[in-house]
Amino acid sequence: MLILARHGQTAANASGLLLGRNDVDLNEVGRGQATAVGRALAGATRVISSPLLRARRTAEAIGLPVEIDDRWIEVDYGIYDGEPLADVPREVWEHWRHDPEWCPPEGESMASVGRRVREACDGLVEAASASDVVVVSHVSPIKAAVTWALGVGDEATWRMFLDVASISRIGVSGRGPSLRSYNDCHHLEG
């Protein structure tokens, strides 16, 4: 099974800021969420993480050695990284939603995220068909992995919501990937 976990909350997430490549740590709530993710994924045999601190901290809570894979880094929001969501011009969102190859100034396109994540997913098929492989990452790469599993285009990422510290599962077999669960947050209850 390929298990995708989004990192726990940061102060930037809690404040409604776009958080791409800015490398910030988890806040107190996020540390508790990371612990809950760790408990929920205790049976995993391998843990891979984005290089960003918030993902690494969440991955470390699983209790296994953490492999870093740069392909799982968050999308680069370019000049909008760290800005309040409401301050990003509407036309920027429109361009991004309607053209997967479009990218903001100094940023990255959703198609670029999709290409690097599909490559990473393809490389994990054999391992994930034999045991539970966890990848701790961010909104855009996890959504890209889901589009890989579903066999749909990068534009579908805009039609998904993914919460902090959520867990999604993709089964892999000789028949190809299949989405088993998405945006599961049951481990955070209580």
- Measured CA to CA, the distance from residue 153 to residue 165 in angstroms comes to 25
Q: Which of 56, 45, 53, 103 is nearest to 78 (CA)?
A: 103
74 is catalytic: yes
Structure tokens at 188: 């955070």
Per the residue annotation, which of 60, 74, 106, 187 is the catalytic one?
Answer: 74
- CB within 8 A of 96, min separation 6: which ones? 102, 104, 110, 158
Angle CA(96)–CA(101)–CA(104) in degrees, nearest 5?
50
Q: Which of 79, 81, 70 is nearest to 21 (CA)?
A: 81
187 is catalytic: no
> Angle of helix 53-60 relative to helix 28-40, nearest 10 degrees?
50
Catalogue the active-site residues. 7, 74
